[in-house]
C-alpha cells in the first residue's frame, strides 16, 4: 500500500524502460507538431479497430470538438450512457472528459493535519482521497505512474465498452494496424502504424509469436489468446506501451490546449465582458465554486484546471433514464466507495465516501453546447455529472443554488423525475445516495437568476479554441 501515498509530483514524469515520458503542458501546437509518441497515441485513440466489432474508438465517446466527451445530443438528453461495441451493452456512467486527465495526480490518501488552534493539531480520522481518473478514481496511476495511462487500459477490455476479450487482442490489432476504422470527425485511420509503434517503443515490441487462430479468438467475447509465458510477458509490456502512448497524446497540446478566453485573459489578450466578470466574482465568492474548482495553478505550473482532484457527493438525483438504472431500479451508484471496497487498507473508509464522485475539471465544460453557440448551429445537448442527470450548465448552477430550497419531488408524489419534470414542477428529486451529501458548499446559495447566468457565462470562457482561432 505504499503506492497509495506517493507524491503528486511523480504524476507528470513517468520512467518507462529507462526512458522518460514527459507529459507536457503548454501553448497549442498543430497536428503536424505532434511528437512520434503523441502521433502514435492519436492513431490509437481514433482507431475503431481496437474494439470487438471494429466500430468503436476512444474518440467515439471522447470527441474533441465537444470537450472530449460524448457528443450525441439524443443520448445526452436522456440516459447519457453510451452503447458499447456490442449492441445493448451499456455502462452506468456518462463519459468523463479525457482532456487534461493527464494532470490528475496519482491516487492517494491525504491523512493531513487539521488545525484546531495555534498550537493544537489533530490527525484526521478519515483521509481525504485525491487524484486518480474515472469518476470513482479506480484508474489510480499505481500501475503505470500516470492515472491517464491506467485509465486508457480500461475501455479496451471492458465488456460494455470496446469489449475485446484479451489484452493480446489490442496488441495484435495495433501491431497489425489495418487502419480501416473511422475516427469521429477525423476520417479513417491512415495506413499501417505498426512501424510507428516500433519506432517509438523499439523494434522488438511486436516480436510476438501469434497463434494461427488469434484473429478468430479476438472476434469472440470470451476468448483467450494462447501464448507462451514469454510471449504473454511481451504482450503485457506492449499493452502498457499502448496505454502510455494514449496518455502522451492526451498530454499533448492537441488535448491540453489551454487556448480558452480565460487563458487569453490571463495573457492580457481578452477582456471579460461585464457579465463574465460578474460571474468570475461570484465563482470566487458567493457561489463558493472555487471551494472545489480551485483557480490556483495546476500541477507542473500549468494554468488553473478548476479542480482540487478530490471527491464529493453533491446530492445529484438518480437519472431515471440511465439504461443501467432502468435495468437495475434499486441500484445506487456508490462512487468512490465502490473502488475503496476493493483495496486492502481502504475498505474501512468506504462508508464515509459512499456516493462521492471525482470533482472534474471545468475546462471545456461548455464546449460545443448550445448554451455556448448563439445561433444554435453546430451545437449539442451536453450531459453533466457522473450520471448525466443535468442537461445544461444553467440547470447545474440552479441546482447548486436551490437544492435545499425547493420542495422534494418525491414529497410531492413525483417519482423518477427527469430534469425536465423537476423544472416543470419546481422541485428537485432526492439525492441518488443520501449519505455524505455536501451541505456546506451548496444547496442554498441565494443567487439571483442574473447571478446564475453570470456564472454560466464565466464558465463558458473555459472552452478551448479561442486563441487558436484568433
CATH number at residue 109: 1.10.760.10
The pLDDT of residue 177 is 73
86 Cα distance to chain centroid: 22
Q: Quote the longest CA-to-CA distance of the chain.
A: 71
Note whether residue 345 is domain-resident. no
Q: What are phi and psi of 129, to 5 degrees?
A: -90, 135
Structural domain including 435 reads: 261-318+358-469
221 and 187 in a common domain: yes
DSSP designation for 337: H
E runs forming strands in 262-385: 311-312, 357-358
CA nearest to 357, candidates 305, 313, 307: 313
The pLDDT of residue 398 is 98
Among 251, 285, 304, the domain-final residue is 251
376 and 240 in a common domain: no
Q: Structural domain tally of the chain?
A: 2
Length of the chain: 470
The pLDDT of residue 8 is 25
Q: Are 165 and 218 in contact (CB under 8 A)?
A: yes
Note whether residue 411 is domain-resident. yes
245 and 206 in a common domain: yes
Over the chain (470 residues), the average pLDDT of each successive run of 10 is 29 30 36 86 96 96 96 96 96 95 95 54 76 98 97 97 98 77 38 86 96 95 95 98 98 96 97 98 97 92 95 98 92 97 95 98 96 80 97 98 98 98 98 97 97 98 84
Among 251, 282, 309, the domain-final residue is 251
Note whether residue 79 is domain-resident. no
The pLDDT of residue 123 is 55
268 and 238 in a common domain: no
The pLDDT of residue 469 is 59
Q: Are 76 and 61 in contact (CB under 8 A)?
A: no
The pLDDT of residue 19 is 30
The pLDDT of residue 171 is 97
C-alpha cell at 402: 436551490
The pLDDT of residue 125 is 73
240 and 267 in a common domain: no
283 and 239 in a common domain: no
**141 Rama sector, left if φ>0, alpha if ψ -120 to 50, beta otherwise:** left
The pLDDT of residue 383 is 97
Whole-angstrom distance, CA of residue 143 vs CA of residue 344: 16
Amino acid at each position: 500500500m505504499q503506492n497509495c501515498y506517493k507524491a503528486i509530483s511523480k504524476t507528470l514524469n513517468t520512467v518507462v524502460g529507462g526512458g522518460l515520458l514527459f507529459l507536457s503542458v503548454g501553448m497549442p501546437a498543430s497536428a503536424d507538431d505532434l511528437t512520434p509518441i503523441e502521433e502514435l497515441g492519436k492513431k490509437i485513440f481514433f482507431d475503431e479497430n481496437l474494439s470487438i466489432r471494429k466500430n468503436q474508438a476512444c474518440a467515439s465517446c471522447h470527441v474533441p470538438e465537444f470537450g472530449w466527451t460524448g457528443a450525441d445530443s439524443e443520448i445526452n438528453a436522456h440516459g447519457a450512457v453510451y452503447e458499447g461495441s456490442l449492441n445493448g451493452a451499456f455502462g452506468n456512467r456518462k463519459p468523463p472528459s479525457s482532456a487534461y486527465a493527464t494532470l490528475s495526480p496519482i491516487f492517494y490518501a491525504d491523512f493531513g493535519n487539521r488545525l484546531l488552534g495555534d498550537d493544537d493539531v489533530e490527525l484526521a480520522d478519515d483521509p481525504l482521497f485525491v487524484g486518480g481518473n474515472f469518476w470513482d478514481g479506480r484508474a489510480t496511476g499505481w500501475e503505470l505512474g500516470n492515472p491517464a495511462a491506467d485509465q486508457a487500459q480500461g475501455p479496451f477490455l471492458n465488456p460494455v465498452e470496446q469489449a475485446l476479450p484479451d489484452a493480446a487482442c489490442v496488441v495484435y490489432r495495433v501491431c497489425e494496424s489495418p487502419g480501416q476504422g473511422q475516427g469521429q470527425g477525423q476520417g479513417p485511420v491512415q495506413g499501417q502504424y505498426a512501424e510507428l509503434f516500433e519506432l517509438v517503443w523499439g523494434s522488438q515490441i511486436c516480436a510476438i509469436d501469434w497463434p494461427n487462430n488469434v484473429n478468430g479468438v479476438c472476434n469472440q467475447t470470451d476468448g483467450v489468446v494462447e501464448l507462451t509465458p514469454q510471449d504473454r510477458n511481451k504482450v503485457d509490456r506492449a499493452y502498457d506501451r499502448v496505454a502510455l502512448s494514449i496518455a502522451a497524446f492526451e498530454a499533448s497540446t492537441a488535448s491540453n490546449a489551454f487556448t480558452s478566453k480565460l487563458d487569453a485573459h490571463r495573457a492580457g489578450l481578452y477582456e471579460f465582458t461585464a457579465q463574465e466578470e460578474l460571474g468570475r466574482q461570484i465563482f470566487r465568492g458567493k457561489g463558493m465554486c472555487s471551494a472545489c474548482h480551485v483557480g490556483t495553478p495546476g500541477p507542473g505550473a500549468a494554468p488553473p484546471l478548476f479542480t482540487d482532484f478530490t471527491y464529493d457527493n453533491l446530492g445529484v438525483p438518480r437519472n431515471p433514464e440511465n439504461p443501467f438504472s432502468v435495468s437495475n431500479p434499486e441500484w445506487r451508484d456508490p462512487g468512490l466507495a465502490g473502488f475503496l471496497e476493493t483495496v486492502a487498507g481502504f475498505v474501512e473508509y468506504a462508508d464515509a465516501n459512499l456516493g462521492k464522485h471525482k470533482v472534474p475539471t471545468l475546462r471545456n465544460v461548455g464546449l460545443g453546447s448550445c448554451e455556448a453557440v448563439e445561433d444554435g448551429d453546430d451545437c449539442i445537448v451536453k450531459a453533466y455529472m457522473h450520471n448525466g442527470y443535468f442537461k445544461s450548465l444553467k440547470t447545474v448552477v440552479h441546482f447548486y443554488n436551490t437544492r435545499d430550497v425547493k420542495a422534494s419531488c418525491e414529497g410531492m408524489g413525483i417519482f423518477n423525475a427527469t430534469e425536465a419534470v423537476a423544472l416543470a414542477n419546481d422541485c428537485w428529486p432526492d439525492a441518488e445516495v443520501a449519505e455524505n451529501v455536501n451541505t456546506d458548499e451548496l444547496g442554498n446559495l441565494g443567487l439571483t437568476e442574473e447571478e446564475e447566468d453570470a456564472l454560466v457565462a464565466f464558465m463558458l470562457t473555459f472552452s478551448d479554441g479561442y486563441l487558436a482561432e484568433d
